[in-house]
Structure 1
Amino acid sequence: MTKLRLYLTINYAFSAFSGTTMLLFSEQLNQIFHFSDPLLFPIIGANLLVFAVFVFYVTGWQIEKSGLVKLISLMDAGWVVGSVFLLLFGPFGISPIGLWIIGIVAVWIGFLGYKQYSNL
């Protein structure tokens, strides 16, 4: 398995896991993050599952198309930028543990995006 394929595989597996977790445990996540919107985590989770399917497709059948891999890395960068915004400005009254989770996931996604891009 090439390094690029490895990092893309980790990306889609983590995205699928995260999306499924958000769909199945949205009430618990709302409590952890101090959110009250019952649709927030299911919407993010469903979008993560769509992203995971896209990354899975690229990994299996389109990995030679560097533009698609760059797009995935760009979307990862967008996640990181959004996370940094949440961490810096705290616009929604996110709990301290929620902020830690956002920060840890942002570092992880940033790492995956960087490794994907650098292994093109």
Structure 2
Amino acid sequence: MKTLKNVMLINAISSGATGLGLAIFPKAIAGLFETTATMPFIEVGIFLVAFAALVFSVSRGNPMNARAVRLVIVLDTLWVIGSAAIVLFQPFPISVIGYVGIGAVALWVAAMAYLQSAGLRQMSVSK
């Protein structure tokens, strides 16, 4: 169970740091994506900070709430599916670096979802 707590803490920190970066430096990120639109980066950043707070809160539970962990896994999975659709269909006029970045973040989030799922299974076995 300690592993699940650690994975969730890593998820919270990485999500929060990414969210803060997007919200605080939207012009720089927009430049990498070769777009002038900054609001989508701010909005995603705010969402990620809120998500990070949720994940952190769930990670501190003792014992952890399995339903809350599943919610985090579902949200991570939806992020991966949405990112995959964006990379596959490329609906936005952004740079290759932008699409590669979206894909790289999706891989990280997929790893978090996988590790959290494994931790949740381990938590169920140890009960």
Calculate the TM-score normalised by the size of structure 1. Answer: 0.95
CA distance in 2, matches of 1:116, 1:69: 8
Residue by residue over 1:7-64, the C-alpha shift from the partner in whole angstroms, topping out at 9 and shown as x without a partner, is 1000000011000000111001111112222211111101100000011111112652
Report the identity percentage: 32
* Alignment-derived partner of residue 92 in structure 1: 92
The alpha-carbon distance between structure 1 residues 116 and 35, as it changes in their structure 2 partners (threshold 3 A), is same
1:75 aligned partner: 75
Bigger Rg over Cα: 2
Name the SS of the counterpart of 2:12 in structure 1: helix
Higher mean C-alpha deviation, range 72-81 or range 62-71: 62-71
Answering whether residue 9 of structure 2 is matched by residue 21 of structure 1, we say: no
CA distance in 2, matches of 1:45, 1:19: 4
Are 1:104 and 2:104 an aligned pair? yes
TM-align CA RMSD: 1.3
2:125 aligns to what?
none
Distance 1:31 1:63, change over 3 A: farther
Map of 1:64 onto structure 2: 64
Instruction: Report how many residues are paired.
Output: 120
CA offsets 1:47-100 (integer angstroms, 9 cap, x no match)? 100000011111112652111101101100011001100110000022101111
Secondary structure in 1 aligned to 2:15?
helix
> Could you tell me which residue of structure 2 aligns to residue 30 of structure 1?
30
* Residues 63 and 69, structure 1, Cα contact 8 Å, conserved in 2: no
CA distance in 2, matches of 1:20, 1:43: 11
* Distance in 2 of aligned mates of 1:16 and 1:50: 8
Unaligned runs of 5+ in 1: none
Separation in 2, partners of 1:20, 1:110:
21
